Homo-oligomer: A and B are copies of this chain.
């Protein structure tokens, strides 16, 4: 009898846990969202005595194994749930793309917390405006350009980031585009037209039956200004 995967992540936000949820949902995997079932102390309880204590959620428990760090969780899960190639070279490339999405996620967070996670947004609003200007003008195009290039150079065609079938990296790119479009609707409205392959992949993921079902369910929380991607009107603009 195989046990359900146990996901531990803050119960009130999409956050980094959402990248793992999308993979589990798309695969139709048996999993439990532990903090939602047992409260946010579930994560800390598991880590209190662990020999492999994660620095922060999300982490995933699979029997004896506990893995933390979003990209490492997906690296572990990918081949097990049919969302990554098993051949080392392509498995590593998928992971590398995921790590670059993780870098984008850090920067998207830094936009509203340039002075660090310890101060409220309201206390670093002016600095956030400056950081957002650079993020919109330079960083968003740089990342989107890279994703478009990866799709264009995929020898199996531009429908997927790696090979000819879906991987967790495709699902994560969908989520990154969703997050950016929520946080920066004006900027993404201008930019996304320049990245047709990224836009097409985003739309195709949204139409995958299990993903569409998940997005319409109450398991999918809404984006909010408690999460990583945050919409503050003053941080968005067309340029």
Contact = CB atoms under 8 A, between A and B. Distances in A.
A54 B96 contact: yes
Given A50-B153, A127-B114, A119 B134 contact: yes
Grouping DSSP codes into helix (H, G, I), strand (E, B) and loop, the A interface class, with mixed when no group exceeds half, is helix
Which one of A72, A96, A135 has the highest number of Cβ atoms from chain B below 10 Å of its Cβ? A96
Interface of A: 50-55, 64-65, 67-69, 71-72, 75-76, 89, 92-93, 95-96, 99-100, 103, 106, 110, 114-119, 127, 130-131, 134-135, 138-139, 143, 146, 149-150, 153-155
25 contacts: A50-B153, A53-B149, A54-B96, A55-B103, A55-B146, A64-B89, A65-B89, A65-B92, A67-B92, A67-B96, A69-B100, A71-B99, A72-B96, A72-B99, A75-B92, A110-B110, A110-B114, A110-B116, A114-B114, A114-B115, A115-B130, A115-B131, A116-B131, A116-B139, A127-B127
The 7 A-B residue pairs with the shortest CB-CB distance, nearest first, are A116-B134, A69-B99, A114-B114, A55-B100, A118-B134, A115-B130, A52-B93
